[in-house]
Amino acid sequence: MSSRNCPHCGHRLGNYLYADACPSCHRELTHNTRPLVTPPKLDPNRVRSPMYRAFLGLRNAIER
């Protein structure tokens, strides 16, 4: 969530409400730099379909 003022220097952000750094003191605004959505976690032990495995085999054969 964005705040209206910089937590470091108190400068009003105005048009820079979603900026990564304060335009006045240039310190990082950590509440704006955190990712909003976590990326999906990939399961390394997931069983892959036979078509996908065939595609990977063909791709690896071409790259060699």
Over residues 40-57, mean pLDDT = 87
Q: Is residue 41 part of a domain?
A: no
Q: HSE-up of 15 (CA within 13 Å, CB side)?
A: 1
Per-residue confidence (pLDDT) for residue 28, from 0 to 100? 86
Q: Is residue 4 part of a domain?
A: yes
β-pair partners for 21 = 28
Q: Is residue 58 part of a domain?
A: no
> Is-contact 1 22, C-beta < 8 A?
no
Provide the number of structural domains found in the chain: 1
For residues 22 and 11, give the distance between their C-alpha atoms in angstroms, rounded to a whole number.
8
Q: Is residue 54 part of a domain?
A: no
Among the listed residues 22, 19, 31, 18, the one whose alpha carbon sits nearest the alpha carbon of residue 9: 22
Per-residue confidence (pLDDT) for residue 55, from 0 to 100? 94
pLDDT in tens, 3-34: 688 888 888 887 877 778 888 888 888 877 77
